[in-house]
């Protein structure tokens, strides 16, 4: 059975003690651009095995395919701009953040596997081990994140009440 955590008086007026770094402010400000109307994308130059070729590239892709210099056509990949969440971490008395929940749209269009279709690459903890999520799976995960955020807010209110009560000193 869940319990209700009382909300301290004027808690909505209290400032949030966590700060936004200049990088996170920049990331928070712009919206993620939606797909453009040209479904086929555009044709771009790519370096594959040292040779320049022309390949189709979706409008959301930000990869410089010439600089990427893929060894084989199957190594060509498309990636959108990544997003991530700066989370506060312990830094020996200094305020520090660590990027978590890094995600981007990815695709290996010339592969024969499931990555030939666009998917969302999600690195949850910053360890470079990425889950490959279909759009529906990411939507479900986002729903779970919203529920988790509600629980974090409940913990914040509980801590505020505990501080008001003086804690267990």
User: Could you give the C-alpha distances from 118 to 53, 79, 124, in angstroms and in order?
Assistant: 22, 9, 19
DSSP 128: S
Q: Which two tokens stand for residue 33?
A: 């651009």
Pairing between strand 94-107 and 119-123? antiparallel
Q: Is the pTM of this model over 0.85?
A: no
pLDDT for position 40: 57
pLDDT tens-place string over residues 4-56: 434 444 344 443 344 444 444 444 444 555 544 445 589 999 999 999 999 99
d(CA 32, CA 81): 9
């Amino acid at each position: 059975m869940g319990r209700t955590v009382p909300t301290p008086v004027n808690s909505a007026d209290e400032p949030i003690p966590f700060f936004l770094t200049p990088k996170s402010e920049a990331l928070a400000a712009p919206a993620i651009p939606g797909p453009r109307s040209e479904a086929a994308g555009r044709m771009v130059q790519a370096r594959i095995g040292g040779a320049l070729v022309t390949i189709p590239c979706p409008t959301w892709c930000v990869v410089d395919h010439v600089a990427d210099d893929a060894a084989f056509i199957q190594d060509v990949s498309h990636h959108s701009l990544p997003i991530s969440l700066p989370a506060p971490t312990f830094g020996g008395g200094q305020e520090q953040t660590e990027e978590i929940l890094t995600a981007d749209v990815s695709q290996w269009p010339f592969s024969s596997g499931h990555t030939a279709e666009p998917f969302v690459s999600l690195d949850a903890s910053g360890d470079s081990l990425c889950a490959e999520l279909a759009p529906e799976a990411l939507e479900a995960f986002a729903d779970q994140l919203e529920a988790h955020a509600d629980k974090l807010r409940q913990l914040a209110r509980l801590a505020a009440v505990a501080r008001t009560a003086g804690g267990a000193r």
